[in-house]
Structure 1
Amino acid sequence: VLMEYPGVLIISSYPQNNDLKALERDAEISLVKVEDIPNKKDLDGDWLNNPACGSGSWMCVTYGRNGGVSSTNNCSYHRLLDHLGLSQKSESLSNVRPVWNWTTPTPVMVDTYLYGILDVNEKSQTFTSHVMISMGWENELISWEPNDWCGIESVAVPRDMLWIPDVMILEDISDTGSITLSPYTEVAHSGMAYVTESRRLTTTCKMNLFKFPFDTQNCSITFISFMLKGIKLGPFSNSIIMSQFSEKVMVTLGEWDFLGIRLSMEKLIYDNNIVWDKLVYKISIRRRPLLYVINLLLPLLFFLILDLASFFIDEAKGEKLGYKVTILLSISVLLLILNDILPSTADDLPLIALYCIVIFALTGLSLLETMLVSFLIDMDSRADQDIQTSSKTCEETQEETDCQRESQRDAEISLVKVEDIPNKKDLDGDWLNNPRLLQRILEVRNIRQKWFFANMKKKKPGHWERVGRKFDQAYFCLYLITTIGFLAFIYHEWLH
């Protein structure tokens, strides 16, 4: 060996030793004569002008999977792949983690970009999106110098030619048919390898629907590798860059507004001695509530206002009860629509459910109050009608038998015929033969009858109707105060 430079050995003559020839073949070294190197002036350094590099000297140029230099005439991808040993599949490159020392962890970087929000199912608690996932890692066995290969900085090789980290998504429940994988792995001159995939991703997402439809949801996409040792997860870029890029490429949002992506590094610990790295992307979205406000919230509010307005309908017309029943049935239809939206396993009762239930309860109580007032008014009317009927009957019918029956019912006087009295011999027989005494008895009976009807007429008419009217007014005031207080509470909880 005459001289030694980084990646280059200058030797005095071509080795004839069979061991050196085997070394040339196995270690992938190239031996060329110094005088045969074209364009020596393009090479950096003055080492070629060294007297030791005279005629008959050979240049030993090393290269291989661990990097090195190549001839300046190698400008094709085919020569580069042959140089890297990737012209055909190698089991050692595709199946084994590419490190020189097994204790060295392989850094794996992952970025996620959101292209569209396809569906958010509150009932099944799932989030469906269109995402692009970019993953990169360091391959220590592959590298080259771009200046030695006509400036080639990266090359694409088939995906199955190189080892790929086993990174998975914890929340993923989508089928494999929705994944579009790039058929190639891009390899950079520094040894970094990159793969990308586009997929229709369906993930589980625990949603908080307490403020539905004015809610904000945070759905996580968690990347994890179950290799206990050897992989260290991390991101390519930060949250701001991913959020801004996702906003630029966003295609569809549905009924949602995209707020951003937050990134966090976490640990998953099992049994206190097994630890996995987790890379968590939290996608924040906010619902656009206009559709639900128009189709659900405003109709319920209008029904409540109509129910309040029904207190101005006169009870005598008999339309108030049917009107309130119609409102109650309409609210029931809206409750059925709400039942198809909200999940049945929610821990807390959503505000919209409370809103519907309270309006339904207020309307139902208002219906019961209307029924009670109607009953009181009808009871007063029936009492007046009975008095008028009894008085008219006694005035028009002068027959003694009819008046006696009427007085027996109203004045609670029991009259029987003398001949129908059993054991008349037990009674004092003198008064039965005294016509004046009988006449006085009849006069007393007539006086008691007239006194009874006089007292009934003295009673002020419409007593129960007045009670019903006052109760209706008091309930309306209470109903109005309760409604205003409840709407103020709901507004504060929803929008603040």
Structure 2
Amino acid sequence: TLALCCLLFIQVRSVLFAAPTCSYQNVLDHLHLTKANETFTMSRPVKDHTNKTVLYLEMIVYAILDVKETDQTFIAYVWIYMEWGNDYILWNKDDFCGISEVIVPTEVLWKPDITIEEMIEKDKAPQSPFLKIHSNGTIEFRNDQIVISACRMHVYKFPFDIQKCNITFKSYLYAEHELQIEIEKNSSVISMWSREIMATEFEWVFVDMTVTNSTVNHYGYNQTIVIYTIEMKRKSVLHVASFVLPILFFLCLDFFSLLLPHGGGEKIGFKTTVLLAVTVLQLILIEILPFTSSKIPLIVVYILGIFGLMLLSLLETIVVNYLIEMDSASQDDAQSVNE
């Protein structure tokens, strides 16, 4: 009997002092968070409509995929982080075994209608399917996407140019008193992070990234925007080796051709061939540079100058050959008269 009482006491004690078990579903049931509950998706998640929703936004450039000068487009792979508050998502984590965050599908909660102003082609990859909710009402959303944006190129100093492209985040419909976009980190921090994680830069070198926020008036009401400006420098070594030096070599070759003997058409043919080679390089350069440039790039002036010098050299050779032929003809006529 004593043994039976001891066994019963141990069992009761284990039941009374056993650690409680909790699940994420317990939290969702407490919040009444389901796909069918439209309370969380139909409108901005504030209990007082006069309270604005503050959105903290952060962007990091992971890769510079392409910069198309002729199309004036900038293509980059970016990481986007957003954080905002929800007045309906609150619970005491001590009541749920210390659970302070839960990951849920994106379609069960309201999300800010954020877009990129310079975007000219939508990203075909699907957005991140999940959100992270915190016990204090904070909602966290992370997404990776390919940004194809318009960027005005300044190629006056090509191939030693530095380009700056903007990526501007704004809301489609919400005014400033409803949705305010704030900067999560300063420019130096995001530049350092982007520089550390940069996977590829194509033919560019990432220099710096600055971030500013401002208020603009769109369609009659104010909206807050966040502007990320990406500064990058072109890798000029390949262009120097492909255009600048070969054209300079052709000019030197053309000058040395002056040492060739006059007479006949070999010298003129040689100079014409060199001139055509420079013309081919010029046509290749035209395919790279945009036609929307307001100033003539320096490299075009450089090529035109060399082309003009070589053309003058060719004309000089033609005139000298003509004079030699005229002098030879006059000598032949004089000799025939003397005979």
Give the TM-score taking structure 1 as reference length. 0.62
1:6-42, Cα deviation, whole Å (9 max, x unpaired): xxxxxxxxxxxxxxxxxxxxxxxxxxxxxxxx78xxx
Q: What SS does structure 2 have at the residue aligned with 1:173?
A: strand
Q: What CA distance in whole angstroms lies between the structure 2 residues aligned with 1:137 and 1:341? A: 44
Identity %: 38
CA-to-aligned-CA distance 1:363-389 (integer Å, 9 cap, x gap)? 111111111122122212211111101
- Corresponding residue to 1:380 among 304, 327, 334: 327
Residue 268 (str. 1) matches residue 216 (str. 2): yes
**Structure 1: distance between partners of 2:246 and 2:48:** 69
By relative contact order (CA 8 Å, sep 6+), the higher-ranking structure is 2
Q: How many matched pairs?
A: 321
- Match for 1:168 among 102, 106, 115? 115
Bigger CA radius of gyration: 1
Alignment-mate amino acid for residue 343 of structure 1: P
Distance 2:267 2:215 in 1: 65
Conserved 8 A contact 1:180-1:198: no
Q: CA deviation at 1:123?
A: 0.6
Q: Distance in 2 between matches of 1:321 and 1:77?
A: 86
Partner deviation per Cα, 1:404-450 (whole Å, 9 max, x = no partner): xxxxxxxxxxxxxxxxxxxxxxxxxxxxxxxxxxxxxxxxxxxxxxx
Which residue pairs with 2:183 in the alignment? 235
**Which residue type is aligned with residue 252 of structure 2?**
I
Look up the SS of the partner of 1:180 in the other structure: coil
Alpha-carbon distance in 1 for matches of 2:146, 2:116: 13
Cα distance in 2 for residues equivalent to 1:210 and 1:199: 31
Report the counterpart of residue 222 of structure 1 in structure 2.
Answer: 168
What secondary structure sits across from 1:279 in the alignment?
A: strand
Which of 146, 149, 152 pairs up with 2:99?
152
For the 8 Å contact 1:181–1:196, the answer to whether it is kept is: no
Match of 1:28 in 2: none
- Which residue is 1:258 aligned to? 206
More strand by share: 2
Aligned-partner residue type, residue 132 of structure 2: E
Say yes or no: does 1:75 pair with 2:22.
yes
Equivalent residue letter for 1:263: V
| Amino acid across the alignment from 1:253 | E
Q: What is the deviation of 1:317?
A: 6.0
Give SS of 1:269's match: strand
- What is aligned with 1:354? 301
The CA distance in 2 between the partners of 1:386 and 1:276, in whole Å, is 90
Matched, 1:192 2:146: no
Deviations 1:216-241 (A, max 9, x none): 11111100013124000112212222
Contact 1:116 1:253 in 2 (8 A): yes
Counterpart selection for 1:244 from 185, 192, 207: 192
Shift of 1:342: 0.9
Question: Partners in 2 of 1:380 and 1:88 — Cα distance?
Answer: 99
The structure with more helix, counted as a fraction of residues: 1
Gaps of at least 5 residues in structure 1 are 1-37, 40-71, 393-496
Task: List runs of 5+ in structure 2 lacking aligned partners.
Answer: 1-15
Q: What is the deviation of 1:106?
A: 0.4
Specify the alignment match of 1:284 in structure 2: 231
8 A Cα contact 1:74 1:80, kept in partner:
no
Following superposition, the deviation at residue 146 of structure 1 comes to: 2.3
CA distance 1:88–1:346, change in 2 (3 Å): closer
Shift in Å at residue 268 of structure 1? Answer: 2.1
- Alignment CA distance shift 1:279-1:208 (3 Å): same
The corresponding residue for 1:420 is: none
Q: For residue 126 of structure 1, what is the aligned residue in structure 2?
A: 73
2:183–2:213 CA contact under 8 A, matched in 1? no
Give the Cα separation in 2 of the matches to 1:184 and 1:174: 24
Q: Partner residue of 1:337?
A: 284
Amino acid at match of 1:208: H
Q: Does 1:391 align with 2:331?
A: no
Once the two structures are TM-superposed, the CA of residue 270 in structure 1 deviates from its matched residue by 4.1
Structure 1 counterpart of 2:54, one-letter code: P
Where do residues 7-86 of structure 1 align in structure 2 (5 Å cutoff)?
73=20, 75-86=22-33
Which amino acid is the alignment partner of residue 28 of structure 2? L
- 1:262 counterpart letter in structure 2: T
Assess if the C-alpha contact under 8 Å between 2:34 and 2:108 holds in 1: no
Work out whether 1:309 is the aligned partner of 2:309.
Answer: no
Counterpart of 1:376, as a letter, is: L
Counterpart in the other structure of 1:105: 52
Name the structure 2 match of 1:297.
Answer: 244
Q: Is the 8 A contact 1:263 1:281 kept in 2?
A: yes
Change (3 A) 1:356 1:239: same
Shift of 1:333: 0.8
2: distance between equivalents of 1:73 and 1:93?
Answer: 29
Q: Return the alpha-carbon distance in structure 2 between the equivalents of residues 349 and 301 of structure 1.
A: 20
Q: Distance in 1 between matches of 2:89 and 2:20?
A: 20
The amino acid of 2:142's aligned partner reads T
| Preserved CA contact (<8 Å) 1:180 1:197 | no
- For residues 327 and 165 of structure 2, the distance between their equivalents in structure 1, rounded to whole angstroms, comes to 64
2:92 partner amino acid: E
Task: Output the amino acid matched with 2:164.
Answer: N
Q: Residue 11 of structure 2 corresponds to which residue in structure 1?
A: none
The residue that corresponds to 1:201 in the other structure is 147
In 2, distance between residues paired with 1:330 and 1:304?
11
Is 1:174–1:200's contact at 8 Å kept on the other side of the alignment?
no
Q: 2:72–2:152: 8 Å Cα contact kept in structure 1? A: yes
